Amino acid sequence: MIIIPAIDLHKGQVVRLRKGRFDEVTVYGTDPAAVARSFQDAGAERIHVVDLDGSVEGRGMNVQAISSICAEVGVEVELGGGIRTVQAARAAFDLGVTYAILGTVTARDPATTVAILKQFPGRVGIGIDALDGRVAVGGWKELTTRTASELARQYEPFHPAFIVYTDISRDGMLTGPNIEATAALAREVTTPVVASGGVGGMEDIRALLEADGIFGAIVGKAVYEGRVDVAEAVRLSRQAARP
């Protein structure tokens, strides 16, 4: 399992939201590139970046910050938030990101989602954000009737690079990830599944490492609050991967 530290961008700053609510935002930094560099220095092989404003507006909003992150580090960068067309995905790759993550478009426009997956094979992930089992879209402001499992299986034939599964009720709460639901989703598909939302400390990292089938874990607020040390988490993950 790989450790993927997160950088959430809002108005060019590094922030965290509680349960995706923009009225409960905490600013953790004003230099996203420096934060990214610190994660690389700690041994992270991939960094998760979210354009929070883009997720609401439906288009790239924190372009300068994203470009600066990609220019600063040599590790993989995955980007989600507002990528809903082939052109938007291409623009993200032009900024230097390794992977583009599709969210809202997967529930609203399957044809475009498939077109993006086919246009950029191996470079597109699917972000599935769920609340009480239902997929949320539009910056988590709208709940659909779809389940995470249904959405994951729908796109399985088109070979997404990975799935990021986020339990919204736990995001930014430091109460522990929904390991059971994440592992259950991983058992249903062959696409690698990444856990997101709720990691509150090193004990959660250890629990995720013991779970079967989870490809990676995104860690955000716990890092900024000093509850998870990225270097130590990376060390544990590499230790667990040794035969």
The residues assigned a catalytic role are 8, 129
CB 139, CB 56: distance < 8 Å: yes
> Can you tell me whether residue 11 is helix, strand or coil?
coil
- Check: CB of residue 130 under 8 Å from CB of residue 136: yes
Q: How far is CA 198 from the centre of its chain?
A: 13
Give yes or no for a contact between 38 and 10, defined as CB atoms under 8 angstroms apart: no
Closest to 162 (Cα-Cα) out of 215, 91, 218: 215
Contact 163, 191 (CB under 8 A): yes
